[in-house]
Structure 1
Amino acid sequence: MNSDSVDWPPEAQWDILGAGFHESGLLERHAPKYCDSGTWWGGALDVEGLARHSAGLVGQAVAELTAGRCRLRSTPAQLAAGFESFRHLRVAGHKVQAFAPLSGFFLTADGWIRTHANYPHHERALLDAMRARTPEQLPGLLAQAGSLEAQERIVSAGGVAAAVRSRRQWLQSPEGQAAAAGPWAQFELHGIREAGAWQFRPEAKLPLAGLKILDFTRVIAGPTASRTLAALGAQVLRVDGPRHAELHDQHIDTGFGKRSTILDLAAVRGLAAAHGPLAQADVVILGYRPGALDALGLSAELLRECYPQLVIAQLCAWGFAGPWASRRGFDSIVQAATGIADAYRYPEGNPGTLPVQGLDYAAGYGIAAAVIALLRARRELHSTGTVRISLARTAQALFEFGGPSAPELALGIPRVSRCTSGYGMLDYALPPFELNGVQLDYPHSPTRYGADEPVWT
C-alpha cells in the first residue's frame, strides 16, 4: 500500500476539515454565512436550519479549498428549491410522482407502520411478506399485525418498512443508540506520499473543473452529492447495476451534469470494467449498504489499498455499526423509526412527515462538502481519507437543532431553467448556489439511463 499512516487527533481533524464538521454534531453555531435566516416550511423541527447549515458547509469547503477565490451564497427560495427539486421538475410538461400508492403510513394492531414500495421489487416483497394477493388487501392485513412484527416480516422478505416510534423509543433501542453514536460526519485521514493528480486551478471557471468522480449511489442523498459536485465543475460518472433499474423520474432529477453507465459488478467482465475508471478517479461515492461490496473487492478498505489517493465517501441509512447497519432504508423510513413522524403527528393522531426529504438532501450536501474538504487535505497535507454519513445520524442532528427559532419568511420564486434532453424538454430548479454572485447551472442535461461507456471523457 503506497501510503504513510498518520494518526490525526480529532481536534486536528476539525481544523483541517472545517469547524462545520465539529465532533459534537451538525450545529447551527458553526454554520458559515450562506443564506439569510428565516422559517418557511414550519413544523416541529428546524428543517430550515438543517438546510442552511448542510448546504452552507459546501460554501465553506469551497472557500477554504480555493483560498477565498470562490464564494457560494444562496437565497432562501433557491435553498428551499434545492431541498425539493423533485417538486419543481417537469418532464415534457408533466409533474413527476414522488411516492407509489403502497409507500406510506398504514394502521397496525398496535400503532402505525411506514412502508416504501416505490421500486417494483420492494413492492413485491411487501405484498409477499404480508401474504397479500392484491394491493387492496394490504391495509387489512397490516391492521391485523403488530407494527414491529410486520416490520420484521417485511424486512426479512427483502422489503423496506419501519414501525413508527417516538423519539424516546428510538433512543432506547440498540439500533437507535448505535445510530446516534459519534459525529455527524465521521472522518478517517491517512497520509499519502503524493498529493494526487487533481489540483484546483485558479484560472478555471468552476472550482472543481477536471475532478473525476465515480458515483455508486442511488435515490436522493448520494446522487444529490454528486449532482452538487457536478454543478461545481466535476466530471461525474454514475454506475448502476443491471438488475434493479433506477426509477425513471428519480434518475432525471438527480442526473443533471452526469453521465450514466450500467455495469454488472457481480460478473468478472463488469467488475474489470469498473476498475478502469477507478484507476483514474479522484473521488468515489458509495451508497451501498455496509458490507454489500466487500465480496466484490470494492469496500472502502480495499479501494484505499488499491488506490491510495482516492477520496472515499460512504453513505447509508442506519449507520455503519449496530444491529441495523446492513438494513435497507430510505429517508421516509428513517423518519418513521427515529421519532420524526411522531413529532409531526396530526391533531387526529396520524403520523406525519417533514415538509421535504430533509435527511436525504442534508446528507447529500454534507457528503459534497466533506469530499471538498478531503480534497483540500489531500493537497495541503498529503492526506486523504474517508467520510461516512448516515440518514439516521442526520435525524439526530436535526433533533439537536430543536424547534424553529427564526422569524417566518415568505419565500420568493426560485430560479428555474429549461433544457432539452433525451427525455424531452425538462423544466428544473437551478442549484442552490451562486458562485461569486452568479447563479450556477448544471453543465448538461441528464444523459439517457445507462447509455454511456464506463470511461472518462
Structure 2
Amino acid sequence: MHDDLPPGLLDLRRHLAPVVDPLPSPDGWWDGPRRWWGGPLDVEGLALGSVGALIAALAALDRGHGGAQGARRRAATSAAGVASSFDSIRHLRIDGRPLDIWAPMSGFHPTADGWVRLHANYPHHAQRLLAAVGIASPDHLGAALLEQSALDVEATVRAAGGVAAAVRTRGEWAASPVGQAAAGEPWMRFSLAGADPVRPLPQTDAAGLPLAGVRVLDLTRVIAGPSATRLLGALGADVLRVDPPQHPELPDAHLDTDFAKRSAVADLREAEQLLRVRALAGEADVVFLGYREAALARFGLDPDALRADFPHLAVVALNAWGWDGPWADGRGFDSIVQAACGIAHLYGTPPQEGTHDGAQRPPGWRPGALPVQALDHATGMGMAAAAVGLLAARGRGIAGSARLSLIATANELLGAAPPAVPETQTDLSVPLNRAESPYGTLDFVPPPLLLDGAQLAYPRVPVRYGSSPLAWGTGA
C-alpha cells in the first residue's frame, strides 16, 4: 500500500479543506502501479487522486460518527479497481454482449480548416445537429462539414441547441474568451452557511455502511453525476434517480451507471409532479444536479433555490464549462471538453498509412482522446467526495453546496506535472461481478473501494428504467 501523497493530482483531497477540517491523511489508501495507461498527461494521477479525495471525505465522516473511538470503516482502493471503474461501460456485458457506446455522427470530423468534435448520442441532439448543418441525413454530414470552418460549425450547432466543439490547441483555448473565463475555475467551489436548525446525520452501528440512512436525490445524467450516485448507493445511501420523460436516458448509460439506485420519471412541467420532486428534495440529505442551471431555475431546483428552501440540504451541482463566462450554461460532454481545451490536440496521432483525413491543419494528422472518459469519472468522484464532505460538515452545524465542472477537472489534469515514473502501459486485471437483471445477465465492474480490506459491492443491479415510484425507500 502507498502512503505518500506527492503534490499534484494525487492530492486532490486538498480541495475539501473548506468542509473537512482538519483534513484526514489516510495511510496506505491505494495499491498497485502508478501508471498503466501511458500518454502525455497524468490520467492515472487524476483517477487515483479523485478516488483519494472520496477516501479522505469518508475518513472525515467516520471521524465525526466515531468521535473519540476513531474511524469505524477504513476505505482504500487499488490501481486495478480505479482503472476498471473509469472504463466501466466498456467492460460491461449484457448476456455476453458489449455495449455500442457511440452514435454514428458522434466523434471527430474534418472541416474546411481543421477538426470538430460532435456529440449526437441523444436523439434530440442528433436532430439539432442535422438542422444546424442544414442536411436531412447523416449520410451528407461529412461533405457539409468540409464546407465550413471548425469554429463556424461549433457556433452554428451550439446556437441550435446541439453539442459541438472545434478542436483547439491549448494556446487557442487559453486565448479564447471561454478559456479565459474557465482558467481560474477551482475543482470544487463551495458555498457554505450555518445550518439552522442543525439536523443530525443518520446513525448506524459500527458494522453498517458509511452512508446508511442517507437519502440522495439524483437529478443528473450521462456519466459524471450518475457514476457518483451509484458509488454513494454502494456506500449505503438510498439513491433515487429522477429523469424527464421527454428526454430519457440512453439505455446503455442507464445500465452502466444506475447500479445501487432506483429509477423514476417525472415531468417537471406538470405542477403535481414538480411539487412531488421538490418534496423529495426537502426530505433528502443530498441533491445532485447535472442539468443546465437556467433550466433548473425555472422549476426552483437550482442550487440557490434549493438551499434557500431547505437549509439542511447538501447540494452538489455539475456543469461542463465552469460557472462563469459565456459558456457557463452551455451544453457539453467529456469528449467535447477534451476537444475544446486542447486535450484532443495533445493526444493527436497520424492516421493509419494509406488513409486520408481531409484536414488542412496539419495534413496527415488526426485528433485523439484520453484513454478513458476521465473528465467525467474524476468529476463524478469529486462530486461524491464533496457530498460526503458536506455531510461531515453538517455534523458541525455547517451546510451548503458544491459546484464542480468538467473543465475544472481538465484544468487540474493539464496543469499537473508529469509523474516521476516512466511512461508505460500496463495490463491490469479487470475485476468483474455477474448478476441477473431485468435486462439479462450482467458482467460488470464493482465499485473501486474496499472497506476494511473487503471489496465494496453494489446492493442491487439497475432496475427497469423509470419503474420506481417517486418515494423514498419503497422497494424497486
TM bucket by the smaller chain? over 0.9
SS of structure 2 residue aligned to 1:392: helix
> Which one of the candidate residues 230, 234, 245 is aligned to 1:231?
234
User: What value does the CA root-mean-square deviation take over the aligned residues?
Assistant: 2.0
SS of structure 2 residue aligned to 1:420: strand
Q: Does 1:399 align with 2:414?
A: yes
TM-score by structure 1 length? 0.92
SS of structure 1 residue aligned to 2:113: coil
Q: Does 1:206 align with 2:209?
A: yes
> Which one of the candidate residues 147, 162, 169 is aligned to 1:166?
169
- 1:25 match: none
> Which one of the candidate residues 82, 88, 91 is aligned to 1:88?
91
1:108-157 Cα distance to aligned partner (Å, 9 max, x none): 11110000010111111111111122111101110110100011111111
TM-score by structure 2 length? 0.89
Alignment of 1:244-255 (within 5 A): 244-255=247-258
Unaligned segments of structure 1, at least 5 residues: 1-10, 22-28
Q: Distance in 2 between matches of 1:146 and 1:152?
A: 10
Q: Distance in 2 between matches of 1:54 and 1:186?
A: 15
> Which one of the candidate residues 440, 444, 451 is aligned to 1:424?
440
SS of structure 2 residue aligned to 1:162: strand
Q: Does 1:263 align with 2:266?
A: yes
1:177-223 Cα distance to aligned partner (Å, 9 max, x none): 21122421111111012332433424242110110000000000000
- 2:361 match: none
Q: Does 1:455 align with 2:471?
A: yes
SS of structure 2 residue aligned to 1:326: coil
- 1:5 match: none
Q: Distance in 1 between matches of 2:214 and 2:18?
A: 24
Q: Does 1:55 align with 2:34?
A: no
- 2:455 match: 439
Q: Is the 8 A contact 2:73 2:451 kept in 1?
A: yes
The worse-fitting range, judged by mean Cα deviation, of 154-163 and 12-21 is 12-21
> Which one of the candidate residues 41, 48, 56 is aligned to 1:45?
41
The worse-fitting range, judged by mean Cα deviation, of 212-221 and 131-140 is 131-140
Cα deviation for residue 355 of structure 1 reads: 0.2
Cα deviation for residue 410 of structure 1 reads: 2.9
Identity of aligned residues (%): 46
Q: Does 1:100 align with 2:115?
A: no
SS of structure 1 residue aligned to 2:242: strand
Q: Give the letter for the 1:279 counterpart.
A: G
Q: Is the 8 A contact 1:276 1:455 kept in 2?
A: no
Q: Give the letter for the 1:308 counterpart.
A: P
- 2:9 match: none
Q: Distance in 1 between matches of 2:348 and 2:16?
A: 39
Q: Does 1:340 align with 2:343?
A: yes
Alignment of 1:402-413 (within 5 A): 402-407=417-422, 408=424, 410-413=426-429
- Over 3 Å counting, the alpha-carbon distance change for 1:296 and 1:136 in structure 2 is same
Q: Is the 8 A contact 2:379 2:404 kept in 1?
A: yes
SS of structure 2 residue aligned to 1:170: helix
Q: Distance in 2 between matches of 1:237 and 1:168?
A: 42
Q: Is the 8 A contact 2:26 2:56 kept in 1?
A: no
Q: Count matched residues.
A: 439
Alignment of 1:285-364 (within 5 A): 285-347=288-350, 348-364=364-380
Unaligned segments of structure 2, at least 5 residues: 1-13, 64-70, 351-363
Q: Is the 8 A contact 1:44 1:404 kept in 2?
A: no
Q: Does 1:387 align with 2:390?
A: no
Q: Give the letter for the 1:361 counterpart.
A: H
Q: Is the 8 A contact 1:66 1:202 kept in 2?
A: no
Q: Distance in 2 between matches of 1:210 and 1:81?
A: 28
SS of structure 1 residue aligned to 2:421: coil
- Over 3 Å counting, the alpha-carbon distance change for 1:42 and 1:213 in structure 2 is same
